Structure 1
Amino acid sequence: MLKNIDPLLNADILYALAAMGHGDEVVICDANFPADSVARQTPLGKLLRVDGANAPRVVRAVLSVLPLDTFVDDPAGRMEVVGDSSSLPAVQREAQREVDAAEGRAMPFAPIERFAFYERAKKAYCVIATGEARGYGCFIFKKGVELAPDAPQGDAQ
């Protein structure tokens, strides 16, 4: 057991998150998402799993160690509800609260059309499947940088 590391973050997930670079993306998806087939197309090439937790809880765990990219407009995205792009199901509202808490400010999800989400997910660094049974519990996060307290605050790219 490691101190101050969320217990949902197993060794494979920690490795993948650490291996990601600035601008790489991670997908956190529900049990309905074609996670295995999509994950095989990512740079990591295999599916990561957290079967016993819902999507918002996995979002909390991942964002406890993953900084979001502050150099882009939309570092957090959600799959749109088909036929109602403005709808926010409960699972997405719960995940939004986790994002806002992790960032210490409001950081609204950017909506991503379902098929565009699938295509973008194939280009992500990795896919983490959750035990989320509710539909539309699918999210994409772009990794940023965490500057050391004494680091220059210029361009971190």
Structure 2
Amino acid sequence: MLKGIPEIISPELLKYLCEMGHSDRLVIADGNFPTHSVGKDAHIIRMDGHGVCEILDAILKLFPLDTYDPHPVSIMEKVPGDTVATPIWDEFKEIVSKYDTRKDAIGSIERFKFYDEARKAYLIIATSEKALYGNIMLQKGVV
């Protein structure tokens, strides 16, 4: 056991977070995200039974966001014409604002471009999140 590490952060996840360098990206994916096909070149950690928001909050306690990028956090945009509600985005904003004071730290990326960017991620965390468009990408900064 270590002090100050959130219980939800496994030793394997902590290892990958430590290995990541400046500008490396991680994706916390909802339950519908094609984690294994998109993440062929990424490290993948399954965190079944957990939602994106609880994982996001725990990671941001340890993970510096990139201060050189105006939007170090990205969410997947809705497909044009999709009218599904996305209340999880408000939760994302609330959590990110606890760790980053920029009002515009969160940007959005068109769905298929999000997949393309996720293919370059160092780490993808697969969750049991049921919220649609509940995917979020973080870009690591420096300490």
TM-score with structure 1 setting the length: 0.84
Q: How does 1:29-108 map to 2 (within 5 A)?
A: 29-42=29-42, 44=43, 47-83=44-80, 89-108=86-105
> How many Å separate the matches in 2 of 1:102 and 1:110?
16
Larger radius of gyration: 1
Higher relative contact order (CA 8 A, sep 6+): 2
Unmatched segments (≥5 aa) in structure 2 = none
- How many residues were matched structurally? 142
RMSD over aligned CA atoms reads: 1.7
Report if aligned partners of 1:70, 1:144 keep a CA contact under 8 Å in 2: yes
- Structure 1, unmatched stretches of 5+, are 147-157
Deviation at 1:39, TM superposition (A): 2.0
TM-score, normalised relative to structure 2: 0.92
- Give the aligned residue type for 2:2: L
1:5 corresponds to which residue?
5
Change over 3 Å in CA distance of 1:71–1:28 after alignment to 2 = same
C-alpha spacing 1:3/1:49, structure 2 compared with 1 (3 Å): same
Mapped partners of 2:102, 2:25: distance in 1: 21
SS in 1 for 2:124: strand
**Distance change in 2, residues 1:104/1:88 (3 Å):** farther
1:95-114 Cα shifts (integer Å, max 9, x gaps):
11111112245344111000
**CA–CA separation in structure 1 for the residues paired with 2:58 and 2:8:** 7
Contact 1:27 1:140 in 2 (8 A): yes
Relative to structure 1, the CA distance from residue 10 to residue 84 in structure 2 (aligned partners, 3 Å threshold; closer, same or farther) is: farther
- Percent identity (aligned): 37
